[in-house]
Amino acid sequence: MPSPPLVVVVTGMSGAGKSTALRALEDMRFYCVDNLPTPLIRETLEVCAAGGLARIALGLDVRVRGFFEQAGTLLDEIRQRDGLELRVLCLDATDEALLRRYSETRRPHPLSVSEGNDGTAAAVLDGIRSERERLGPLRARATHIIDTTNLSAHDLRRSIVAMLGPAEQLPRMSTRLLSFGFKYGMPVDADVVFDVRFLDNPHHIPALRELPGTHPNVAAHVLGHQDTIEFLDHARGLLGFALPRYEREGKAYLTIAVGCTGGRHRSVAIAERLADELRFSTGFPIRVVHRDLQRDPGNSSEAP
C-alpha cells in the first residue's frame, strides 16, 4: 500500500533559515511553494495530490500579512484530513542572532515599523519581537523545532536530512564519473579530480593508439599495471569514505572527474572500472560520461 502524501510546512522567524530549509527540501525531491497566501493552501494541496505529487513543502511566514492569523486553524484542518501526513517545521533563533543577520544582509525586517533616528536597528528589533508574538500559535503546532542560532547553512541542511531522510527512502545522491583530457581544459563542474597522467600511456603503442579506452584491449593494458591497481585501491577507499559523507551533508549531485592528457585512453578505462567498483561497494547510482572520447584521435596526440 503506498504511503500517504507527506506535507511539510516550513515556518518560523524571518532570518532563521527558512529559505535554506526549502532549498534543502527541494534537493530532497519535495515540490516547494513559498509565501503562499493561506486561503490557497487547501486548493494547492488538492491540485498537488491530483497530480501525483507525494512530497510537498510549503513555506509560510509573516509575509502573508493578514492571512497569517488563519494559518493555525488551517493546519488543524489539514492534520485531520485522511490520506495526508503533515509535519510542521519551525525555525527559530535568538533575537541577538536574528538582529546580527539582518545587520549583515542590510535587509529590512518584514514587520519593521519605521526607521529609528539612529538607523534601522531599533525598527528591526521591533519587527522581530512583533513577529515572535504572532508566530506563537503556529509554533505551538510545530512537530519539529530547530534553533539555528549556532547553526551554519550546512548544519541546518544536515538537520533536515536527518529529520526526513531515513524514514522517507530518499533518492540517493546522483553521482557522475567524468573522464576528460587535460589538453581540452578542466571540467568546471568537477567536485573531485583525479589526474592519471602518471599511468602508462596506450597512445605510444601503435596497436592501441586509435582504439578508445572502452575497448577491451586498451582497458586490459591500462588496468594490468601495478600502478593502476594501487591507484584504484586508494581511489576506491577514498571515495567509499567520502561519498556517504557528501550525501549526509545534503549534497544532491557529485561529479568525480578523472583526467589524462587527451581523454581517450587512461581516464576512460579508469572511470569505467572505478564506477563499477563504487556501484558495488557503495550502492550509489553512478553514471559514467566520457567528455572527450569522441574527439578526432588524429588531433589528440598525447604526451605522458
Buried b (16+ CB within 10 A) or exposed e, 5-23: bbbbbbbbbbbbbbebbbb
* Angle (nearest 5°) at CA 39 between 38 and 45: 85
Global pTM value: 0.61
- Nearest C-alpha neighbor of 303 from the set 210, 207, 215, 203: 203
Would you state the pLDDT for residue 32?
92
CATH architecture designation of domain 6-168: 3-Layer(aba) Sandwich (3.40)
Could you read off the pLDDT tens digit of each residue along the chain, which spans 304 residues? 566 788 899 988 888 999 899 988 888 888 998 888 777 888 888 888 888 888 899 988 776 655 566 777 777 777 777 667 888 999 999 988 988 888 787 777 776 654 444 444 457 788 888 888 888 888 888 889 999 999 888 888 888 888 876 444 556 788 999 999 999 999 999 999 999 999 999 999 999 999 999 999 999 999 999 999 999 999 999 999 999 888 877 677 899 999 999 999 999 999 999 999 999 988 888 999 999 998 865 554 455 5
pLDDT at position 107, please? 73
- Measured distance CA(134)–CA(247) in Å, rounded: 36
Task: Please list the alpha-helical segments (H only) found in the chain.
Answer: 18-27, 41-50, 71-80, 95-105, 121-140, 153-164, 206-209, 216-223, 226-248, 266-282
Helix H or strand E encompassing 39? none
Burial of 239 (0-12, 13-18, 19+ CB in 10 A): buried
Q: Is 236 helix (H, G, I), strand (E, B) or coil?
A: helix
Domain residue ranges in the chain: 6-168, 174-299
Count of all residues that appear for the chain in the document: 304
8 Å CB contact between 35 and 61: yes
Q: Which cell numbers in the block locate residue 60?
A: 509560510
Which set of grid coordinates corresponds to residue 131?
513577529
pLDDT tens digits, 101-132: 887 877 777 766 544 444 444 577 888 888 88
**pLDDT on residue 216:** 95
Cα 76 to Cα 139: distance, rounded to the nearest angstrom: 13
Give the single-character DSSP code of 161: H
Tell me how far the alpha carbon of residue 135 is from its chain's centroid.
29
